[in-house]
Structure 1
């Protein structure tokens, strides 16, 4: 196939330049094979490779504000993704030689010695350009974001860049030496402008996988203040934001729709894990008073999440019975009769989806159950579930082997379903044993 015509290649270039970073990485991976180097695709691959290299340089120079240009909660400091490309284009026009120097210094052996000073110089130039609003490239930014906030973030770039290599240490195990380092960064920020401290924390939080961990850094700077003092301070918003997120996650656990299946159950379990981590972070970072503004709420949330998770776990047995229905051994058994598998219809996909969601939830809250106060409840729920599943599997294996008590083919489908469910309540090894026993039963029946 002939090369892509110029106008089409221009269109492709525009698409590549405006693609999100994640999409660009996917495109680069898709074109990395032998086919990507042939014909028309070769031109596209060169465009993708050039754009990837250019973004690496851009993101290295503008690293302090890059995560602020991702999707974030509306209450957090953030900018549209286009800000990065517009800033970079404006800098290329304003300071082309410094851009060339940054590109030349943006290599592993230079970066090992720490970020080149030209990176900070370019951020300072960008801050001045954004504030001045005279160059056309910088003027365009005023149409899509708060230029004062963007300029303030850029002015803190040197402090943020110096703090980033230390950030993982600050949140892993804060020592007095590390706390002093964090306080120094905070004081340096406040020398630039009096209200820069909270903005520094905002930027650093954006660089954390779990942004609520910034509480640990703030606590070190404030020397673990009481909740009353912290809540009334200029950084009280960080605590309020975490408390709001805790409440939102508890509400999600309470209301998640089991009809959506396993993914939704796992999402709810992640919410429970996040709540546990956030409460622990609060207790370690803040001197909580049980009657204080945050102490009261944390106490309420600890009780609320335990009750909510226990309520969802307690529904698991009912969901299991609905998906793997039983029929009484005799009419005298009534509701309390142990019952045997009711093999009268195909497994109901909706009911299977529901029980899978709940069992996935029960399985995945294991990591936070003990610390959150519902470890014993979870153990009791699993004991009941496994007792029921064990008996069900034995009963239905009998049907598969003998054909007595129901349709053998239908029994095999329910047996496979039960094996899948016991993987959640126990483990995959147990499920595999059930599957091997099922295969042996089928072979015996044949």
Structure 2
């Protein structure tokens, strides 16, 4: 058995000592790289100062580990690095920017290591091994410290969001309750432009499968919606509890409620977890619009939660029939009994009855077999056949009490299985 060649270890010590003697220069070089490459990190002078301290403390820790062969499990995360992660969390700087900074810092430091090895005067035969050992140590450290700062960032982001939401929540409730009527003072207190046109949201996570919930997930979804509509400023987000929040988006351009709002929100949620849901009001201007759009979003949320598993992922107050459904959701058990009285067996939760109900709704909306057939992409005779079948299932013609039938079908459409008869009954 042969002993390990000590030459590479001596080479690592030599190169580390040479770089350590120029610590200020090394730190400045890595810092300049990050400030130039990661735009999200260079907006605040105070954050730049703390980033320098974070780079310096990380480089010192790496050099100590290299020079004294200290294993990772015995290293403590540098205080400046953890504090920098906390400050980024408080500023809302996205996580990818932080992780990218560490990867760029790793590459910048290894470039300096390679340059130092080339001019160190070491035996060329050990240069490759020296660089390999230093690369392994630097890469392992970056992987380890990235996990530490990410955990610190996420914990701080949750804590900061809760505290900020509490403070904002007090100011926001005073506005919603009509206690604060000075629009400029209220805008300053919230840090939000109340003279804008507002799209109010309720955002929440469905409870399922024990997945962890984070307020940051809700706020990120709100930001995505704001980007989808091109908001004129950052959205206002206030946590209600651990799985839900209220939000307002100041719109740059007025948009109609209903389909346009639904489409914009659905675009924003396309790549996000299916358990994340949003209810929205109608875009309205000024302080009164801030309040009214919020009340409408609460109505839409009430409909979505009452619908249970039948709820749509995006529910908007501008959708026809939503406000009527919101009124009926206040006593859903009574509404269910009334629906069964009006529709009879047609209110059964089967695919066949669902097709019949959809055909009846379309026909009653247009009052024309041909128009209904065109909208449903069906043959004229198929529509007539389905309407006859609907009469048979109901037990009487759908036109005898048309208003009740239309309203009952509206309730079925919004609340689904919550108000329908189970298929085995």
- Per the TM superposition, whether the score is higher than 0.5 is no
Structure with greater Cα Rg? 2
Give 1 or 2: higher helix fraction: 1
TM-score (norm 2): 0.27
TM-score (norm 1): 0.26
